[in-house]
């Protein structure tokens, strides 16, 4: 009689998983605490016009049911003074990728296990061959990351009410960042800087708001405070993790317009994470589409919106309601389920949901195919087409 397959694990298997998890977590945590020389966590930029280069990033979570591959070999660049939109459905690895850049993945369960995140820091200069040196964030000790996080790389979180401390005033929380990254600054200078930024992000009566507690402000004002907080150290990169999710439509538009203006004024880069393709079309210069922990398509906003190639990207665009849509017809939804991130197949992760599947899709995961100088897609449908272009 054939044994029935189920999702349950035996006590023996559970003990084996826990033993493996403990060994792995101890190893990666020890790596973070280990004293390192600067050369151990520096690398070289592939292109010095990028502020961040992510290569083969793998971030996993060690759970009682097994190892969750949350980010599985992600590679993309964030150029200087550009807005890069990262889009995909919930659980595709967008936020975990951003947390990996910030070294904020919840430890000890969450760990970056492979890959490089090269950060183009001005203070490192060039090597003897004229190549731009960079910090490799995946190898940086936590003590060194404190100097970068909150100053050169900052983050605007999804929910401003839980990001601000309810027991401290807005001014206290803004000033703290100035004191952390500039030990010589006086209280008066820190206050002046905080009020200057509150004014810059469009808050009326900034002196009054400086003395307020978070619960005294509306959602839109709290999000403006978070943006002011992100700008205090004159960052080179701002990561905006769904910054408008908790806000109504009118305030969303104001916050996005503010971010765009500040990006141009400050000359910084923005990594914008969102579900909303409309926001991406309006804001982003380049777009990265993620699915089940991998980048499945990337290119300029024009490439992705005018010539979407991966069936998943096409499905995402079809599921967006239009003003011309027939109100009597249900909205399009991509059929099927995302694969289990614990036991991912070696084949294309989208295979079981794809209507354009062919025989080769049963083979190994498709490689990244270069469609044009700016457009890349991981799909066997375009392998032959690109091959003909190269002949």
Reduced DSSP (H G I as helix, E B as strand, rest coil) percent helix, strand, coil of the chain, to 5: 40, 20, 40
pLDDT reported for residue 103: 92
- Give yes or no for residue 390 having a pLDDT over 60: no
pLDDT digits (tens, 9 = 90+) for 233-257: 889 999 998 888 777 778 888 888 8
- Give yes or no for residue 391 having a pLDDT over 50: no
**7: pLDDT confidence band, cut at 50, 70 and 90?**
low
pLDDT reported for residue 172: 94
Q: Which CATH number fits domain 31-152+233-390: 3.40.50.2300, 3.40.50.10490, 3.40.50.300, 1.20.1090.10?
A: 3.40.50.300
Radius of gyration for the alpha carbons in the chain, expressed in angstroms and rounded? 23
pLDDT digits (tens, 9 = 90+) for 300-349: 999 999 999 999 999 888 887 777 767 777 878 888 888 888 888 888 99
Domain ranges of the chain: 31-152+233-390
Query: How many degrees, rounded to 5, is the angle at CA 119 between CA 117 and CA 120?
Result: 145
pLDDT reported for residue 142: 86
* Preceding peptide of 108 cis, ω within 30°: yes
d(CA 350, CA 343): 14
Rounded to an integer, the average pLDDT of 32-36 is: 84
> What rounded mean pLDDT belongs to the chain?
88
- Give yes or no for residue 4 having a pLDDT over 50: no
- Give yes or no for residue 167 having a pLDDT over 50: yes
pLDDT reported for residue 2: 44
pLDDT reported for residue 6: 58
**Cα torsion 114, 119, 123, 125: sign:** positive
- Give yes or no for residue 136 having a pLDDT over 90: yes
* pTM of the full structure: 0.88
Q: What are phi and psi of 297, to 5 degrees?
A: -160, 145
- Give yes or no for residue 387 having a pLDDT over 80: no
Which range is least confidently modeled, 126-130, 229-233, 330-334, 387-391? 387-391
User: Within 13 Å of residue 258, how many CA atoms lie on the same side as its CB?
Assistant: 25
**285: pLDDT confidence band, cut at 50, 70 and 90?**
very high
pLDDT reported for residue 360: 86
pLDDT digits (tens, 9 = 90+) for 72-89: 999 999 999 999 999 988
**144: pLDDT confidence band, cut at 50, 70 and 90?**
confident
d(CA 164, CA 167): 9
More confident residue, 345 or 391: 345
**5: pLDDT confidence band, cut at 50, 70 and 90?**
low
**385: pLDDT confidence band, cut at 50, 70 and 90?**
low
Rounded to an integer, the average pLDDT of 365-391 is: 79
pLDDT reported for residue 248: 79
């Amino acid at each position: 009689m054939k044994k029935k397959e189920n999702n349950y694990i035996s006590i023996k298997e559970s003990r084996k998983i826990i033993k493996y998890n403990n060994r792995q977590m101890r190893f990666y945590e020890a790596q973070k605490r280990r004293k390192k020389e600067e050369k151990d966590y520096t690398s070289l930029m592939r292109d010095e016009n990028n502020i961040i280069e992510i290569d083969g990033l793998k971030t996993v979570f060690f759970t009682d049911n097994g190892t969750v591959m949350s980010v599985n070999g992600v590679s993309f660049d964030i150029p200087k003074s550009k807005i890069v939109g990262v889009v995909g459905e919930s659980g595709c690895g967008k936020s975990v990728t951003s947390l990996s850049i910030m070294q904020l993945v919840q430890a000890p369960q969450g760990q970056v296990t492979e890959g490089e995140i090269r950060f183009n820091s001005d203070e490192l200069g060039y090597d003897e061959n004229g190549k731009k040196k960079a910090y490799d964030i995946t190898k940086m000790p936590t003590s060194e990351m404190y100097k970068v996080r909150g100053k050169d790389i900052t983050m605007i979180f999804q929910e401003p009410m839980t990001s601000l401390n309810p027991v401290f005033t807005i001014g206290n929380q803004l000033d703290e960042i100035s004191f952390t990254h500039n030990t010589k600054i006086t209280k008066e200078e820190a206050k002046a800087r905080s009020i200057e930024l509150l004014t810059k992000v469009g808050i009326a009566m900034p002196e009054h708001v400086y003395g307020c507690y978070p619960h005294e402000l509306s959602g839109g004002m709290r999000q403006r405070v978070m943006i002011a907080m992100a700008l205090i150290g004159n960052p080179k990169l701002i990561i905006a993790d769904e910054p408008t999710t908790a806000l109504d439509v009118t305030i969303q538009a104001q916050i996005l317009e503010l971010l765009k203006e500040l990006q141009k004024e400050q000359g910084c880069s923005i990594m914008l994470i969102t579900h909303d393709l409309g926001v991406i079309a309006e804001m982003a210069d380049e777009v990265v589409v993620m699915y089940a922990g991998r980048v499945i398509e990337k290119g300029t906003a024009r490439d992705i919106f005018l010539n979407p190639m991966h069936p998943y990207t096409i499905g995402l665009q079809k599921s967006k309601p239009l003003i011309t849509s027939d109100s009597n017809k249900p909205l399009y939804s991509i059929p099927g389920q995302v694969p289990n991130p614990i036991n991912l197949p070696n084949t294309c992760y989208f295979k079981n949901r794809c209507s354009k599947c062919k025989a080769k899709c049963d083979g190994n995961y498709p490689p990244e195919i270069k469609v044009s100088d700016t457009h890349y897609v991981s799909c066997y449908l375009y392998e032959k087409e690109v091959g003909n272009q190269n002949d």
